[in-house]
Structures are given as C-alpha cells and as structure tokens.
Amino acid sequence: MVGSKILSEANQYVLNLFKTQLPSSVLYHDFNHTQQVVVAAEEIGTGMQLLDSELEIVLLAAWFHDTGFVHASDNHEDPSKKEAETFLKAANYAPEKIGKVVGCIEATRMPQNPKNLLEEVICDADLYHLGISDFTKRSNLLRVECDVHGKKQFTDLEWLETTANFIGNHKYFTDYAFKKLHDEKINNWLETQKEFEKLRDKQALKEEKEGVKLAEQQKKQEKLEKPDKGIETMFRVTLRNHMKLSDIADRKANILLSVNAIILSIVLANLMPKLDKESNQFLVMPTLVFILTAVFSIVGAIVSTRPKITSGKFSKQDIENKKANLLFFGNFHRMPLSDFQFGVDKMMNDRDFLYGSMTKDLYFLGVVLARKYRLLRLTYTVFMVGIIVSVIAFVYAFLTMPNDVANTIF
C-alpha cells in the first residue's frame, strides 16, 4: 500500500468516525467494507500502473466513499464528499487533488459513471466483490442491511432477481479488473440466476398447490353456503308429502260432493213430488233430515276446497327484513316484476332467507292442510251422523205411520 501520512491519518479518521457515529443498522457499508475497497483499489490501481500521486487520490476516495452512511443511507455520496473535503482541507491537501478525490467519490454513485481512469479504478474496487468466491456471503450481508436499515424488505425471490439483474448489467471498467474478476463474476451471475430460477419454479409450484387448495376451500365454502343436499331432500320430500295429502283431501271432498249430489238428485226427483200428498206427510221429517245432511255435506266439502287468495303484495322493506315468503304465489301475484325479481335474487343469495322462506312455506301449507282436514272430518261426521239419523227417521216414520196409510201402502 502506498505509504503516506495523509493515508494513515485518513485511515484513523474513518475508523474513529465509524466507531463512534455509524448507526448499528449499517451492517455492510462499515469499516471492514471500506478496508476491502481500499485494498482492492490499491491492487487495481497498481495493476493499471497508476502513479503514486494518482493512487493516493484513489485510496483517499476509497477511505471516504462510504462515510456518508454516518449521516444518511440515501444519496450517501453527498455527505461522503463533504467529509472528505473537510478532512483534506484541514490537512492542507492541494485543492486540485481534493477535487479529484471528490470526483472519484461521486463516480461510485449508482449507476456508476466514471469519467477518467482514477474514477474507473475506484468504481471497480467498490464492486470488487462481484468477482470473488465469497460473493454470496457479502451479498447476503448487504441484504440484511437493507432489511434492518429499513430501505426495503426483500423476499428471497426478489433479492435473487435483483442481484442477478444487477450482476448481469454490471461491467468492469479497467482492463485489470476485467481480466481478473470477469470470469468469476460470470460464475456468480450464473449461480445466482440458477438459484433464482430454482426458487421461482419452487414458488410457482407452491402457489399452484396453494391455488388448488384455495380453490378446494372455496368450493367447500360455497358448498357450505349453498343449501345442503340433505336439507334440500328433507324439504322436497316433506313438501311432496304435503301436496299428496292435499290431493287426497281434495279427492275426499270430491267424493262427498258426488255422493251428496246424487242423493239430492234422487230425493228431489223421487221423494219431493210425493210429499204434497196427505198420506205421505209422515215422510216429511225424514226427508228433510236427509236433504239437510246432503246439503251440509256439500257445503262442508266446498268450504274445505275453496281457495283463499291473499293480498299478493310485499314491499321491498318486507323483503329486506326477510318477512316475505316469495315461494307462494299468493304472496307475490300483485307485486311488480322488478320487486319480485329483486326479492328472489336476494333470497337465492341469502341462505338464511331461503331456508326461512322454505320453512314458512312448509308451515303455512301445513296450516292449510290442517284446516282442510278438520273441515273434511267435520263434514264426514255430519254426513255419517246425518245418514244414520235419516235412516232411523225413515224407519221410525214407517213404524209410526197411521193404519189407514199403512193399509193403503201395503
């Protein structure tokens, strides 16, 4: 190394500065890195046959090029130049040489843009580690500094991609650095690219598996959100059974209507014309009971099957509050199509609303069936009792009729 008093003083100045003021979060651009750049600058400068005076300028720039990290990590070159100027002016260093030192420090700003050989030497020295075997170790240390210092949190894939792109776009400026470091830099680039592609493929496979897993979870969730098959079966079977029971009730009512219509026809055609004779007065009461029985049975059968039409209209507020049952036509036949469609869409997208509507539909259908069967039971009871009473009345009438009427008949 060039032996000069100014370099020794610069060494001690930078060491004290980093020991006392460098933030602990700066893990890569520390004194060790500065020493490594100084050694690399001397090696490259010597290889490029710089004069001692020129090499001194490069080494001074190497000592001060990262001192700006004491003040700020962004645009650290500016405070680094100020530190160098302050130190060199205090040491009465030649102004033209100070300008060259400052120029070398400025040249290390990314992207590097050296304008002369001295600046090319320090630029190659600053990135000397790209072409050595322990590149990965130095690179990882830089990543930790970026993470800890708060510049950016890199994922493994992002860091490998950034590093590979940086090496791929980098070039050494001096012939010495190119000849010595280029081949190893290419090996480091290929290794980084290989690791990047390997991790990218691994992450892509992981994302694919996670995507499949997420799709399965979404499918399960959608299945949970949709009406369960067992519940659908329960509602379907129950509603079908209710409809069958309603059909049975209607047929029973139809039987009553048919039978009693026949009875009324017979009575009106055969008995009623004979009741105006005095000799047949004993048949009036039994016939009247018989007719009333038939009439009450017909009325009961009709009432049990008579449809009831509701208002047929619900408001949007009722739909929002889930008070409307849109599964029964009587509740919507007077609603505008837009309101009905709005309600159906809301019901299909709301599991609770849909189940609630199906439950209400099932409940009110049961209520109607209960009313229908009560009326039918009452009607059949009236019909049964009326027939019995009518028969008894006819028997009693014949047993108690006057003898003269009996002699006439028999």
Mean pLDDT for each consecutive 10-residue tract of the chain (410 residues)?
80 94 88 94 95 94 94 89 95 94 95 94 95 89 79 82 92 95 94 92 88 82 63 76 78 81 76 62 73 83 73 63 63 68 72 73 77 84 84 78 51
* 233 Cα distance to chain centroid: 29
Same domain as 353, residue 233: yes
Choose among 258, 254, 264, 265: nearest CA to 304: 254
Q: Are residues 282 and 338 in the same domain?
A: yes
Phi-psi category of residue 138: left, alpha or beta, with phi > 0 → left and psi -120 to 50 → alpha: alpha
| 233 plus 204 within the same structural domain | no
Same domain, 201 and 266: no
User: Based on the domain organization, do 246 and 196 belong to the same domain?
Assistant: no
The reported pLDDT for the residue numbered 131 is: 93
78, 176: one domain:
yes
Q: Specify whether 186 is located in the same domain as 334.
A: no
Same domain, 392 and 261: yes
Domain final residue pick, 146, 174, 209: 209
Closest CA to 38 of 137, 139, 126, 129: 126
> Are 269 and 137 within one domain?
no
Predicted local confidence at residue 43, as pLDDT: 96
* 49 and 18 part of one domain: yes
The reply to whether 218 falls in a domain is no
Here the CATH number for the domain that contains residue 47 is 1.10.3210.10
Question: What is the DSSP secondary structure assignment for residue 228, as one 8-state letter?
Answer: P
Number of domains in the chain: 2
Task: Decide: 405 and 279 in contact? Cβ < 8 Å.
Answer: yes
Burial 371-405 (b: 16+ CB within 10 A, else e): ebbebbeebbebbeebbeebeebbeebeeebeeeb
**Quick one: pLDDT at residue 296?**
84
Task: Out of 209, 239, 268, pick the residue that ends a domain.
Answer: 209
* Inside any domain, residue 118: yes
Query: In terms of domains, do 73 and 10 share one?
Result: yes
> Is 128 found in the same domain as 176?
yes
Q: Residue 48: what are its φ and ψ, rounded to 5°?
A: -90, 5
* Rounded-to-integer distance, Cα 139 and Cα 160, Å: 10
Give the DSSP letter of residue 114. Answer: -
The pLDDT of residue 347 is 73
The residue type of 117 is: L
Which residue range(s) make up the domain with 181?
A: 5-209
Radius of gyration of the chain (CA): 53
In the prediction, which pLDDT does 311 show? 56
pTM for the full predicted model = 0.55
Evaluate whether residue 389 is within a structural domain. Answer: yes
Q: What's the pLDDT score for residue 67? A: 94
Give the per-residue pLDDT at 359. Answer: 77
Which residue, 209, 243, 277, sits at the end of a domain? 209
- pLDDT confidence of residue 27: 84
Helix axes 77-90, 52-64, angle to 10 degrees: 130
Cα separation, 154 vs 138, whole angstroms: 16
- Residue 223 resides in a domain: no
